[in-house]
Copies of this chain bind each other. A is one copy, B any other.
Amino acid sequence: MVTIALDMMGSDLGPKELAKGVELFEQKYGDACKLILVGKKEELPEGKHEIEEAQDVLAMETGAMDALRAKTSSMHRAVSLVKEGRAQGVVSCGSTGGFLSIATVVLRKIPGVDRAAFVAPFPTKIKGKPVIILDVGASNENNAKELTQFALLGSLYAKLIYQIEQPKVFLLSNGAEEGKGSPIVKEAYGLLKEDPKINFQGNIEARETLSGDADVIVCDGFTGNILLKASEGVAKTMSGFIKKAFKRNIFSKIGYLLSRKGFKEMSETMDYKNVGGAMLLGVNGVVVKAHGSSDGVAFFHSIEVAYRLLEGKLLEKIKEGLNQDE
């Protein structure tokens, strides 16, 4: 049976809210998976679950170095449970930079992986069909070889989480044609085209990430961060406009009541929270980063992602995939 360590202190909404997510997970999976709750004992639900006491909480803005030093924090303790073999996976809503550095340093990279990558599922036009994009910010730059490793890691992820047999992999570039892109993208194109393990489909432009054509989109961590945040920024700005448009006066409010069904569908499709947390691929453990403002449902989805990756034996498959290289 697999065990997942949960940092219960990381969400802006507090451990009581996260406990609802634990409850939901339990209702669905029962005894199939063991959970260890890490945090302040007095704020955690009593009873069913093993509790790992940790009195300190990392602030959301904690930097990498401070996070590494804060060994008594709930986040550091939760990751360490994986290191110690008491759990195989860990979920936290806390500081992204802190989680990244603790997970990379404590768990170390899988041999053959040069850089760990943050994977984020992105919504697309097609409801219920996310595209997974990596790296979205674990690195500040990546070389061509690292991009091909991301393609493999992303393919395995898509296969395990979305049951796609031959995930279609694209390379993010400034033009769809072969020969477009930065020098590193061009080099990666050549490597990916020759790689029999990757179902490589060529370049994709940033405009097409939402089209639903791609299962996996590969890019360096700096570019992935720009893509993710530009998309979130525009989506948020337009949602703001929509709210304002409907609140304008009594007529527009009635207008909302008459048309809200379609808008609800849009906000569900475009909701970056609905598609689950980001996952750090390439380290020795299943590491899932839930949103900082996760509610119970979002936390449940993140625990579920961790559970599926463990059940699907992600780590073993990554190791196998990398070894075929040699």
Contact = CB atoms under 8 A, between A and B. Distances in A.
Interface stretch (A2-10, A255-263, A295-303): A255-263
A186 B264 CA distance: 42
A197 interface: no
A237 interface: yes
A141 interface: yes
Most B-side CB within 10 Å, residue of A137, A180, A234, A244: A234
Query: Chain A interface mostly helix, strand, loop or mixed?
Result: helix
For the complex formed by this chain, how many copies does it contain in all? Answer: 2
A248 interface: yes
Nearest to A243: B262
A182 interface: yes
A266 interface: yes
A172 to B, nearest CB: 7
B140 A183 contact: yes
B232 A246 contact: no
A265 interface: yes
A24 interface: no
Contacts of A242: 242, 263, 266
Contacts of A185: 222
Interface residues of A, number: 56
A146 to B, nearest CB: 14
A223 interface: yes
A118 to B, nearest CB: 11
Nearest to A236: B207
Contacts of A207: 229-230, 232-233, 236
B234 A231 contact: yes
A226 B172 contact: yes
A221 interface: yes
Contact of A230 (B180, B183, B226): B226
A265 B241 CA distance: 9
A324 B266 CA distance: 52
A33 interface: no
A50 interface: no
Nearest to A124: B237
Contacts of A60: none
B234 A210 contact: yes
B255 A233 contact: no
A221 B229 CA distance: 18
B174 A222 contact: yes
16 contacts: A137-B174, A174-B225, A206-B225, A206-B227, A209-B233, A210-B237, A223-B226, A227-B230, A230-B230, A230-B231, A238-B270, A241-B263, A244-B262, A246-B259, A248-B262, A255-B259
Q: Which 4 A-B pairs have the closest CB atoms?
A: A245-B262, A255-B259, A255-B258, A252-B259
Interface of A: 125, 137, 140-141, 172, 174, 180-183, 185, 205-210, 221-223, 225-238, 240-242, 244-246, 248, 251-252, 254-259, 261-263, 265-266, 269-270
